[in-house]
Amino acid sequence: MTQTAPLMRVDRFDNGLTLVMEQMPDVQSASMVLAIMGGASQDPEHGVGSGNVLSDWILRGAGERDSRALTSALDSLGVQRSCGVDTVFLRFSAGMLAKNLPAVLPLVADIFQNAQLPEAGFSACRDLALGQIAAIDDEPSQKLNILLRQQHLPPPLGRPTLGVKEHVAVLTAADLRLDYRRRFTPDGAILSIAGRIEFDRMHDLVNRCFGSWTGARALPAAPGQAPGGSRHVHQETNQVQIGLAFESTPEREPESILAMLAVNVLSGGMGSRLFSEIREKQGLCYAVHAGYQSLRTLGMIFGYAGTVPDRAQRTLDSFVQELKKLRAGITADELERARIGMKSRVVMNGESTGARAAALLHDMYHLGRPRSLDELRHRIESPTLTDVNDYLAAHPVERMTLVTIGPGELTPPV
Amino acid sequence: MSTFKHTKLNNQLDIIAEVMPTARTAAIGFMVKTGSRDEEPQVSGVSHFLEHMMFKGTERRSAADINREFDSLGARNNAFTSNEVTCYWAQVLPEYLPAALDILADMMRPALREDDFNMEKNVILEEISLYLDKPGHVLYERIMEDHFGAHPMAQSILGSKESITALSQQQMRNYFDRHYGPGNMVLAAAGQINFDELVQLTDQACGRWPSVAVERRYPPLTHSARRHHIRDEKLKRHYICMLCRGPSAQDMERFSAAVLADVIGDHDGSRFFWSLIESGLAEEADFSTFPHDGLGSFYAYASCDPAKADLVEETMIRELGRVRIEGVAEDEIARSKTKISTSTVMSGELPLGRMRNLCSQWIYNREFRTLEQDLAELEKVNLPSIGDLLTKYPFEPLTITTLGPGDR
């Protein structure tokens, strides 16, 4: 099978908006993500959760359309969408038939530039956010994830993206209207589009929709000190939730591929170390995994296991043992399996417009340029076993952050 | 342009494929027409436990071999069990399809070794514990019992700690022998496929599996309106589930039902969205259609502040009543049709999405439907067809089961 190189283009607009596009001629659909640098780390210090409330409120009417008219317009175009915040971005993601994109972009432009932010919708949005925050206690695995980020990452990067109850409860409509004007700027914003599109037509359309958008973003505050260490939260759950985190190489550094390959050996497919040692051989738990994540200047590896109280200490000890064993290196077979697994994922994701739009945004944020499927494949193929093992020897797992939730406390690893 | 292929081996194993010339990957899966509804009560949970055991090795391979070999192909692979089907699948680059088929086909004749059985029992018990910490799941299992009563659809997929602990390897072997006959399953493939090669390899790997006569029971469903609250003081939120009758997987009205469910309970722009989410009453609310084998359900779900429990429940019932009495509007139908057709097209662009669709169509209906046929059928949905549907399935009698920290 011959594969033509994917066609990509990056256009930078004077107002700071970057448009990144990929043509996928074999599909009928198109997906887009518009992301502004307005994630939870940009929330006011005493208004953590503002971005999350805003990500809902902006959909309650924009431009000439009230809430019902806007929703109806998006639905009539068959737009599958979501809007929310992570640490860095506030993003609107949408998938649709490609022929509808020209009608959808003006609606998105209205949402980001001319949201109505109606008084009537404000308290409902705030109540919804408070409901989401309260529901975290009923979902221990979600709660663990939030607590672990808070413990491991320096503030404001570790903030809970849903917000802090006490802050959200006292937010006012006036606060958030000011926040909207401050936060929703094209400065640093990225619009990624993948699917059946034509570059020039798309460029003109984006220029018409977003060319007159103005505003400069506030510079992010310097990160503080991460709490780190270990923390136990008592809760009468059926399973003990175990979360681990430690530092790794940020994605923008070339060496990060070595960390990613190693994490795949640890927790890629079902033959990977954590799954086979802890679940298959010892039967200690159902869910056990680790993953690599990165912010621009901060790489990290997160680990998770859930198990009944009787087996929790053994699970934690085995988990930590597997992490420490990485220092001794991986085998050639393990590296090959990790490589082929990662390469396959690249091709599989390459079939989906939604996955490609998200990947383009990811690349622009971390590297300032999009990577083709060929480049991604090459990056995975290049490192030798020695490269990976030298890296692992030089970066032993140290200073682990541990968070547990459950009926009893565990002994942290030394 | 995709093409459909079908052949049947001498032992009744159906092989179906959708060849997608522009796809860069291939997905294959065995779907077996067996699930928790096919279990005797004393082996509750055996279908799902067996699904785990299928990864534990064969005469030729250990569990570690299976996992390592799939990893060596860069496969994305997994399995799932529902009330009605069990499916084992893998997605790979096209050059690895023969090797992936070899592993999957071998897995379908498992060794079911005693040691592996005892070890995996722990993992199943852990999975049961995991779901006990998820209120949405706890409630789902309870409403299935409340609604389906003595009907086998009431049976839990995971089983209970007691039933799993008591289950023997021999009971699992008997269940396997009775349900995993080649005539009770389908092998489906979608994506970049060489169909002739697929058939040849499948015949070599599966052609000698003995035929088994399998019969599923289809007892009638009798139920009456019922409301049941489960109190759990540890919970912070209140959870509401409702079930009532809807069209089956065989019923062509399932297309109208999909549109109606979207009008009532899609996460954006639906009746539930406006009355429950946009108003800030509930943080989750949805309404969906579950077409089962020979019968079907409509399903409503919401979670909210316990102080608003009554208001949310009343609102859900009022919205259903309004739809039953007044029907829905033409523009609502049009929007929902567009939403559903867009998601049909988008999932149809992915081999994995198409493979799952092929499997289900075949298991439930013994037919192949192209994406275009599904879209055309969806296009036919209109005010009269929704009206007919509501007459036949008026959302009553309604089973309501709730879970929360309060008294009701």
pLDDT digits (tens, 9 = 90+) for A64-84: 999 999 999 999 999 999 999
Residue B251 confidence (pLDDT): 97
Distance between CA atoms of A292 and A256, rounded to whole angstroms?
Answer: 9
* Spatial contact of B63 and B71, defined as CB atoms under 8 Å apart: no
Closest CB from A126, A131, A344 relative to B74: A344
Structure tokens at B356: 């799952």
State the nearest Cα–Cα gap between B92 and chain A, in angstroms. 7
* Partners of residue A299 on adjacent β-strands: A248, A294
Residue A221 confidence (pLDDT): 79
**Chain A interface test: which of B240, B349, B371, B375 (most A C-beta within 10 Å):** B349
| Angle (nearest 5°) at CA B397 between B394 and B399 | 120
Structure tokens at A132: 């989401």
**Torsion angle (degrees, nearest 10) of CA A244, A41, A349, A389:** -40
Residue A172 confidence (pLDDT): 97
B272 chain-A contacts, CB cut-off 8 A: none
Distance between CA atoms of B119 and B64, rounded to whole angstroms?
Answer: 14
**Torsion angle (degrees, nearest 10) of CA A106, A112, A114, A118:** 120
Closest CB from B24, B75, B345 relative to A350: B24
Q: B293 and B176: one domain? A: no
Structure tokens at B49: 């436990």
Give A368's DSSP letter.
S
Q: Residue B384, exposed/middle/buried by CB under 10 A (0-12, 13-18, 19+)?
A: exposed
Q: B360 and B396: one domain? A: yes
Cα B212 to its chain centre, rounded Å, is 24
Cα B287 to its chain centre, rounded Å, is 16
- Mean pLDDT of all residues in B155-159: 97
Residue A3 confidence (pLDDT): 45
| Angle (nearest 5°) at CA A41 between A36 and A47 | 105
Residue B134 confidence (pLDDT): 95
Q: B289 and B321: one domain? A: yes
Q: Which amino acid is at A111?
A: I
Q: Is residue B214, in this structure, part of any structural domain at all? A: no
State the nearest Cα–Cα gap between B328 and chain A, in angstroms. 15
Q: Which amino acid is at A163?
A: G
* Sequential DSSP letters for B43-103: GTTHHHHHHHHTTSB-SS-BHHHHHHHHHHTT-EEEEEE-SS-EEEEEEE-GGGHHHHHHH
pLDDT > 60? residue A40: yes
Distance between CA atoms of B220 and B380, rounded to whole angstroms?
Answer: 30
Q: Is residue B212, in this structure, part of any structural domain at all? A: no
Q: Is residue B221, in this structure, part of any structural domain at all? A: no
Distance between CA atoms of B378 and B337, rounded to whole angstroms?
Answer: 7
Enter the pTM of the model.
Answer: 0.95
Residue A2 confidence (pLDDT): 40
Count how many domains chain B has: 2
pLDDT-based confidence at residue A392 (cuts at 50, 70, 90): very high
Calculate the average pLDDT of chain A: 95
Q: Which domain holds residue B270?
A: 226-404
**Chain B interface test: which of A75, A97, A282, A347 (most B C-beta within 10 Å):** A75
Q: Which CATH number fits domain A7-210: 3.90.700.10, 3.30.300.30, 3.30.830.10, 3.40.50.970?
A: 3.30.830.10
Q: Is residue B136, in this structure, part of any structural domain at all? A: yes
Q: B272 and B165: one domain? A: no
**B92 contacts A344? CB cut-off 8 A:** yes
Closest CB from B71, B91, B278 relative to A124: B278
Pick the residue from chain B with its C-alpha nearest to A134.
B236
**A95 contacts B67? CB cut-off 8 A:** no
What angle do the packed helices A332-349 and B63-72 form, to 10 degrees? Answer: 60
Q: Which amino acid is at B216?
A: R
A279 chain-B contacts, CB cut-off 8 A: 123
- Mean pLDDT of all residues in A271-277: 95
- CB-based contact, B165 to chain A, within 8 Å: no
Q: B175 and B259: one domain? A: no
B24 chain-A contacts, CB cut-off 8 A: 1, 3, 347, 350-351
Q: B106 and B47: one domain? A: yes
- Equal CATH topology for A7-210 and A230-406: yes
Q: Is residue B218, in this structure, part of any structural domain at all? A: no
Of B143, B177, B206, the residue at which a domain comes to its end is B206
Residue A6 confidence (pLDDT): 53
Distance between CA atoms of B362 and B8, rounded to whole angstroms?
Answer: 13
Closest CB from A29, A285, A354 relative to B126: A285
Structure tokens at A191: 């619009």
- Mean pLDDT of all residues in B185-212: 97
A335 chain-B contacts, CB cut-off 8 A: none
Structure tokens at B95: 């050059």
Give A280's DSSP letter.
I
State the nearest Cα–Cα gap between B127 and chain A, in angstroms. 5
**B346 contacts A238? CB cut-off 8 A:** no
pLDDT digits (tens, 9 = 90+) for A130-184: 999 999 999 999 999 999 999 999 999 999 999 999 999 999 999 999 999 999 9
Distance between CA atoms of A154 and A7, rounded to whole angstroms?
Answer: 38
Distance between CA atoms of A180 and A47, rounded to whole angstroms?
Answer: 13
Residue A120, C-beta contacts closer than 8 angstroms, at least 6 positions apart: none
- Mean pLDDT of all residues in A204-222: 92
Q: B189 and B296: one domain? A: no
Dihedral sign for Cα A71, A77, A80, A86, please.
negative
- Residues recorded for chain A: 414
Distance between CA atoms of B266 and B258, rounded to whole angstroms?
Answer: 10
State the nearest Cα–Cα gap between A15 and chain B, in angstroms. 32
pLDDT-based confidence at residue A203 (cuts at 50, 70, 90): very high
Pick the residue from chain A with its C-alpha nearest to B353.
A352
Q: Is residue B216, in this structure, part of any structural domain at all? A: no
pLDDT-based confidence at residue B2 (cuts at 50, 70, 90): confident
Cα A259 to its chain centre, rounded Å, is 18
Residue A4 confidence (pLDDT): 46
* Spatial contact of A381 and A343, defined as CB atoms under 8 Å apart: yes
Q: B290 and B343: one domain? A: yes
* Spatial contact of A243 and A301, defined as CB atoms under 8 Å apart: no
CB neighbours of residue A225 within 10 Å:
7
State the nearest Cα–Cα gap between B71 and chain A, in angstroms. 6
**A308 contacts B25? CB cut-off 8 A:** no
Residue A413 confidence (pLDDT): 85
Sheet holding A80-85, edge to edge: A7-12, A18-23, A190-195, A29-36, A90-97, A80-85
Distance between CA atoms of B144 and A374, rounded to whole angstroms?
Answer: 49
| Angle (nearest 5°) at CA A173 between A93 and B304 | 65
Q: B175 and B313: one domain? A: no
- Homologous superfamily assigned to A230-406: Metalloenzyme, LuxS/M16 peptidase-like (3.30.830.10)
Domain borders along chain A are 7-210, 230-406
Pick the residue from chain B with its C-alpha nearest to A281.
B119
Distance between CA atoms of A17 and B195, rounded to whole angstroms?
Answer: 47
CATH of the domain at B391: 3.30.830.10
Q: B250 and B327: one domain? A: yes
* Spatial contact of B117 and B172, defined as CB atoms under 8 Å apart: yes
